[in-house]
């Protein structure tokens, strides 16, 4: 298990040094992309483009996205107090509307059961106590997964904390309790990020220019026009055994798949039915970890494949068809990198162990070890 060595503050420092020394050498990313190899897609609100280095958005995140560089899918939910009344200040995405009552337990219900990885809470300016527990009901049983802000939170700023809370199964409901609920203003629930983008791909053969990387190019706008489609969808030749494969640069935990089909409303004879009955597998280093055969009776524009448990340590994803053409317009894989203990974030670079200040201070040296390049407990500096 890799240890968590850097705190958030260290990472910012490294990013700063890196950007000043390398920015002149590296070609900048295309608009709408960022990261060291332009592997992340911007998700800013409006037509805002993000910072090409760290992905930050001056306009805030696009609807449905949140978290570091707006890369995480924000899951929709409802919240209720212990008398069953709806709690709107928690769901209104307004960090200025907060709890003004004395509700000590809140029930949170996700609109769609989802495997989750972490939640973000925003508390009042004056909050001194952010102690919050999450109690996830899994398979109808409460208490199997309990997450505590003390052991698994990272401070983002003085009002914002991320609490890592990995569920094994799709979560329908959890409760929030602890004294911190009194200062609570907002809650955001992460359903993972698209870990497939710009990863390595291959297919059994390539028809014309419809190459395999077009399924991980982040382009969801699929025009009803073959010339344009050839630049954003994949297409094999008519193989005896047509397949497309995605290989992750690092193992990932997978929560769900979204597979975008080709659509040609102007052609009756073709082409969306070609994907019917596709076979998807998730592969570990040694064996098949997950197997799904499509059973939809009508071709769908987008297929949602939701495994019943988290698929851990996935190395590759393969989609195959028997004797046929195989065309995919986009494959999104929602999940997280399989980070070591005490780590989370886009590249596992965020360190729970590096927490500091206020009530989150205690464990900096404990979990990070005693190397000299660790963060200071007082202010997180290295
Ligand atoms: C695949 O096709 C896209 C769109 O035409 C193109 O931009 C890209 O360079 C191609 N990639 C490869 C590896 O050929």
The model's pTM: 0.86
Task: Give the pLDDT band (50/70/90) at residue 12.
Answer: very low
pLDDT attached to residue 351: 63
Number of Cβ within a 10 Å radius of residue 308? 11
Task: Give the pLDDT band (50/70/90) at residue 144.
Answer: low
pLDDT attached to residue 340: 73
Tell the residue number behind the tokens 């220019």, with chain if given.
Answer: 209
Give the helix ranges, DSSP H, for the chain.
8-22, 88-91, 149-152, 226-229, 364-368
Q: Is it the case that residue 362 has pLDDT exceeding 50? A: no
Task: Decide whether any atom of ligand 1 lies within 6 Å of the 249 Cβ.
Answer: no
Task: Decide whether any atom of ligand 1 lies within 6 Å of the 112 Cβ.
Answer: no
For ligand 1, what atom is nearest to the CA of residue 210? Answer: 2
| pLDDT tens, residue by residue, 156-177 | 888 999 998 889 999 999 999 9
* 163-192 average pLDDT score: 92
Task: Give the pLDDT band (50/70/90) at residue 19.
Answer: very low
CA of 277 to the centre of ligand 1 (A): 27
Task: Decide whether any atom of ligand 1 lies within 6 Å of the 228 Cβ.
Answer: no
Query: What residues have CB less than 8 Å from 351, skipping those under 6 apart?
Result: 4, 5, 6, 7, 8, 154, 342, 343, 368, 375
Task: Decide whether any atom of ligand 1 lies within 6 Å of the 19 Cβ.
Answer: no
Between 273 and 243, name the one with better pLDDT. 243
Query: What residues have CB less than 8 Å from 217, skipping those under 6 apart?
Result: 198, 232, 330
Least confident range of 37-46, 215-224, 228-237, 334-343: 334-343
CA of 127 to the centre of ligand 1 (A): 51
CA of 212 to the centre of ligand 1 (A): 8
pLDDT attached to residue 370: 41
CA 192: distance to chain centroid?
2
Dihedral over Cα of 246, 249, 253, 255: its sign: negative
Q: Tell me the backbone φ, ψ of residue 207, rounded to 5 degrees.
A: -85, 120
CA of 230 to the centre of ligand 1 (A): 9
Least confident range of 34-43, 143-152, 217-226: 143-152
pLDDT attached to residue 222: 85
Q: Which two tokens stand for residue 47?
A: 């037509």
Is the distance from CB of 53 to CB of 17 less than 8 angstroms?
no
* 69-92 average pLDDT score: 94
Task: Decide whether any atom of ligand 1 lies within 6 Å of the 204 Cβ.
Answer: no
């Amino acid at each position: 298990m890799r240890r968590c060595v850097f705190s958030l503050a260290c990472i910012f420092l490294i990013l700063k040094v890196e950007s000043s020394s390398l920015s002149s050498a590296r070609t900048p990313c295309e608009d709408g992309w960022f990261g060291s190899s332009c592997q992340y897609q911007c998700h800013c609100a409006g037509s805002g483009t993000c910072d090409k280095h760290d992905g930050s958005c001056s306009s805030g995140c696009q609807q449905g996205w949140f978290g570091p560089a707006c890369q995480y899918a924000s899951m929709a939910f409802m919240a209720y107090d212990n008398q069953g009344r709806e709690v709107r200040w928690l769901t209104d995405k307004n960090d200025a509307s907060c709890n003004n009552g004395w509700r000590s337990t809140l029930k949170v219900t996700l609109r769609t059961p989802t495997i989750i990885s972490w939640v973000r809470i925003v508390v009042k300016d004056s909050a001194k106590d952010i102690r919050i527990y999450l109690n996830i009901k899994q398979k109808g049983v409460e208490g199997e997964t309990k997450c505590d802000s003390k052991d698994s939170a990272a401070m983002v700023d003085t009002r914002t904390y991320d609490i890592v809370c990995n569920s094994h199964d799709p979560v329908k409901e959890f409760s929030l309790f602890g004294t911190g609920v009194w200062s609570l203003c907002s809650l955001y629930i992460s359903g993972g990020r698209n870990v497939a983008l710009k990863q390595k791909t291959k297919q059994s053969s390539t028809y014309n220019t419809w190459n395999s990387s077009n399924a991980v190019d982040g382009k969801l706008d699929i025009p009803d026009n073959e010339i344009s489609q050839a630049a954003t969808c994949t297409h094999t030749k008519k193989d005896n055994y047509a397949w497309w494969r995605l290989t992750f640069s690092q193992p990932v935990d997978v929560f769900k798949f979204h597979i975008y089909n080709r659509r040609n409303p102007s052609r009756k004879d073709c082409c969306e039915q070609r994907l019917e009955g596709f076979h998807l597998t998730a592969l570990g280093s040694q064996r098949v970890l997950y197997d799904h055969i499509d059973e939809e009776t009508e071709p769908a524009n987008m297929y949602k494949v939701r495994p019943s448990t988290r698929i851990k340590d996935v190395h590759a994803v393969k989609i195959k068809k028997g004797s046929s053409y195989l065309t995919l317009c986009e494959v999104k894989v929602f999940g997280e990198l399989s980070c070591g203990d005490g780590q989370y974030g886009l590249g596992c670079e965020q360190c729970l162990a590096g927490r500091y200040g206020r009530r989150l201070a205690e464990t900096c040296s404990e979990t990070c070890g005693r190397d000299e390049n660790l963060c200071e407990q007082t202010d997180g500096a290295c």
